[in-house]
Structure 1
Amino acid sequence: MAYYRQVGEVPPKRHIQFRDPEGRLRYEELMGEEGFSSDSALLYHRGVPSAIVASEVWELPDQTTTPNHPLKPRHLRLHDVETTGDAVTGRCLVLGNSDVRIGYVVTGTDPSALYRNATGDECVYVESGSGTVETVFGVVPYRTGDYVVIPRATTHRWVPSESSRLYAIESNSHIAPPKRYLSRYGQLLEHAPYSERDLHGPTSPHLEEGTDVEVLVKHRAGGRVLGSRMTYATHPFDVVGWDGCLYPYTFNVEDYMPITGKIHQPPPVHQVFEGHRFVVCNFLPRKVDYHPLSVPVPYYHSNVDSDEVMFYVGGDYEARKGSGIGLGSISLHPGGYAHGPQPSAIEASLGVEFFEESAVMVDTFAPLDLGEAALACEDPAYAWTWAGRSLGQGREDGGADPAVFSNS
């Protein structure tokens, strides 16, 4: 995020001696993306940030995935998923591919372990709840409706103040605002649906002391996602100050300004972030199309290069009426399948001036496989609802059995 901040104590020049009042040298760490050619921050530690005393295997939660085969749209009821544990170790894998993984957890109020994702940035949507995320950069408060964006390899800990439903988008790349909303120097432009004023990062250092401190690290090796438990000689939260353009921040959906038009606008106008080979959009309460013959719900579309994942988090989603989808639902519409509104929703939307709906969408450019959480909470009748069939059981081969379904 190319938006400069300074927090705590830093020396007047980079890479010069910086000592505490007792004359002890601070240890400077450059945390940078893409080698030395992209955004970075300089952090000043009390202890040596490289000093580890042990490294052991951390067995990750189940990362097994199953292909979406036979191909069909799917409805997942995330509120039916039983999760246990904290905001890190309690995550259940919902969907994933080689570019992005989507997980879900319902926390208690216990803090998570210290954690660092070395595979890529994380963008965690807070479906409900509040608390703080303690990081090497300082503390970031979170609340319902926040996206919590945590740069790759940031050591942090989730501290819920109440039970929190967290929808974790874990990238294998970096996550940033869409390039079309940025100037060539990185400033959000006038036509962007949000500005730097809406991004909330740490405001002061968060210091803790300790020795032999464990940090759970997620990383890649041999094409797989693996976990290690690294023990540091001193506490990672020993940063007295930092500056730069790389740091965690929150952005709340209430601060997003929806873009509307005379006729139906395509999903890119709802985009909020992008990563490598995926995008994140949010569909929020808004005025809708004002052409006298407009059709406010989406037209049927075949995104031939994309899988579309919609997470329904508020309101009443107009295009999905009659499909069984409600709050906490996910719809997965895969590439190779034309999707759109339920037929009855098209007529029902005519003349509507305002949509009261909230959803988070992830579009990927590689097929998504199903994780353990998806297999545990799927609605088996969803795929057949466009055909006007009643709810029931499909054939074992994944088809709709005319003997079971009746026209409605």
Structure 2
Amino acid sequence: MTFYRQVGSVPPKRHTQHRNTEGKLYYEELMGEEGFSGDSSLLYHRGLPPAIVDSSVWALPDQTLHPNHPLRHRHLKLHELFPEGKPAETDMVDGRRLILGNADVRISYVAALRESPLYRNAIGDELVYIESGGGVVETVFGTLRAHRGHQVLLPRATTHRWLPDGPEPLRAYIIEGTRHITPPKRYLSKYGQLLEHAPYCERDLHGPDEPFEATGTDVEVLVKHRPAGEIVGTRMIYASHPFDVVGWDGCLYPFVFDIADFEPITGRVHQPPPAHQAFEGSNFVICNFVPRKVDYHPLSIPVPYYHSNVDSDEIMFYCGGNYEARKGSGIGQGSVSVHPGGYAHGPQPGAYERSIGLEFFDELAVMVDTFHPLRLGTAALACEDTGYAWTWSGRGPSEWI
């Protein structure tokens, strides 16, 4: 995070006694990044934060990944994994389907109606985009409301759970880093303030406003971690409820960012993807493509020019409007395009010419660019539109020359 907040009851000075009205001490916990040299917050608990009574194996959902081989562009239709009109008897944790991943980032999709178990990702931050539906995220820092268009940033090791609360499933696109997800460094002052050229500011980032306390004993928390490179799960049983925080302060906490508050950067000619960047992680970036005025040079071509991802795989999740460059490809709401490094991609046939003279794009998409190749989850292979790779040529594999 980039700015300090204080919520609930904290003592006037850190690392000093903090007691309740009966004189009992609260227990201070430092939650910090990069050892003791990164952002942190101090949380004040009623019970001992490390007190567990049991620890056992939690079998994670399928984590298998397959190489993108033979190399080709791919179109994934995520709604086929959780069809419309069918009950989504899943939750936001155990119901996730792994779509893509590498050693730096993993992307999953879920449609959930049930409340999730308590969960903590001890590998890295999660950025969760809400495609549709809504609900509440209960966290050790307090609660957050999340609905369509929200990007929910959950720092590494934040204990939380999801409670969908509408008649429709909460559909979410989940980006998991192996470290931290932050605003791009070029948007920040040397002290961490978002600068004037950034497409959003601190007013757009909404953290918890008050503590959320729960009681109970022998409380189960599912923990995802990486003891020796392999991703595994552990089921921890806490002696008392982890949501026993009476107050906290610092610069590390979960927050909600509404994609509608992202201010697009436009120009006379087509702006490259970094103009749309919202966040960055270790060896990947996240961009928001939102409705916007497009290029206004008299000879401009508003859709992207054809480009080769020399160093990157480009993953686009289409979550609203009508993406001009993909018209005619079969891509629609809930689609993901996978454009791997190694050869060019760009507008579909006819889109280049059709875009001339347009003044506005009504499109909404979240993009992840990685700097190491991505592999395909089993779920991706289960929802692939296998004809997408040939749509630029109008031919299929049997017609190759």
Q: TM-score, normalised by structure 2?
A: 0.97
- Distance between the aligned counterparts of 1:178 and 1:132, measured in 2? 27
1:3-402 matched pairs, under 5 angstroms: 3-82=3-82, 84-108=89-113, 110-162=114-166, 163-389=169-395, 400-402=397-399
- Match of 1:221, SS? coil
Instruction: Kindly provide the CA deviation profile for residues 331-373 of structure 1, in whole angstroms up to 9, marking residues without a partner as x.
Output: 0000002111012100100000000100000000110100021
- Distance between the aligned counterparts of 1:143 and 1:363, measured in 2? 25
Deviation at 1:111, TM superposition (A): 1.2
Would you say how many aligned residue pairs link Structure 1 and Structure 2? Answer: 394
- Distance between the aligned counterparts of 1:84 and 1:270, measured in 2? 35
- Match of 2:280, SS? strand
RMSD: 1.0
Q: Tell me which amino acid in the other structure corresponds to 2:20.
A: D
Instruction: Kindly provide the CA deviation profile for residues 171-224 of structure 1, in whole angstroms up to 9, marking residues without a partner as x.
Output: 101001111100000000001100100000000000011011000000002211
- Distance between the aligned counterparts of 1:122 and 1:344, measured in 2? 37
Q: Return 5+ residue gaps in structure 2 as ranges.
A: 83-87
Deviation at 1:388, TM superposition (A): 2.4
- Match of 1:343, SS? coil
Deviation at 1:2, TM superposition (A): 2.1
- Distance between the aligned counterparts of 2:333 and 2:163, measured in 1? 25
- Distance between the aligned counterparts of 2:394 and 2:142, measured in 1? 53
Q: Tell me which amino acid in the other structure corresponds to 1:179.
A: K
- Match of 1:215, SS? strand
- Distance between the aligned counterparts of 1:141 and 1:54, measured in 2? 32
Deviation at 1:313, TM superposition (A): 0.5
- Distance between the aligned counterparts of 1:44 and 1:266, measured in 2? 45
- Match of 1:68, SS? coil
Deviation at 1:288, TM superposition (A): 0.3
- Match of 1:170, SS? strand
Instruction: Kindly provide the CA deviation profile for residues 223-252 of structure 1, in whole angstroms up to 9, marking residues without a partner as x.
Output: 110000001001000000000000000000
Q: Tell me which amino acid in the other structure corresponds to 2:398.
A: D
Q: Tell me which amino acid in the other structure corresponds to 1:102.
A: I
- Match of 2:308, SS? coil
Q: Tell me which amino acid in the other structure corresponds to 1:65.
A: L
Deviation at 1:84, TM superposition (A): 4.5
- Distance between the aligned counterparts of 1:372 and 1:315, measured in 2? 28
Q: Contact between 2:213 and 2:244, CA under 8 Å: does it hold in 1?
A: yes
- Distance between the aligned counterparts of 2:248 and 2:24, measured in 1? 18
Q: Tell me which amino acid in the other structure corresponds to 2:328.
A: G
Q: TM-score, normalised by structure 1?
A: 0.95
Q: Contact between 2:2 and 2:194, CA under 8 Å: does it hold in 1?
A: no
Deviation at 1:322, TM superposition (A): 1.1
- Distance between the aligned counterparts of 2:280 and 2:39, measured in 1? 16
- Distance between the aligned counterparts of 2:286 and 2:2, measured in 1? 19
Instruction: Kindly provide the CA deviation profile for residues 307-326 of structure 1, in whole angstroms up to 9, marking residues without a partner as x.
Output: 00000011111001111111
- Distance between the aligned counterparts of 1:111 and 1:8, measured in 2? 26
- Distance between the aligned counterparts of 1:85 and 1:50, measured in 2? 29
Deviation at 1:91, TM superposition (A): 0.3
Deviation at 1:85, TM superposition (A): 1.5
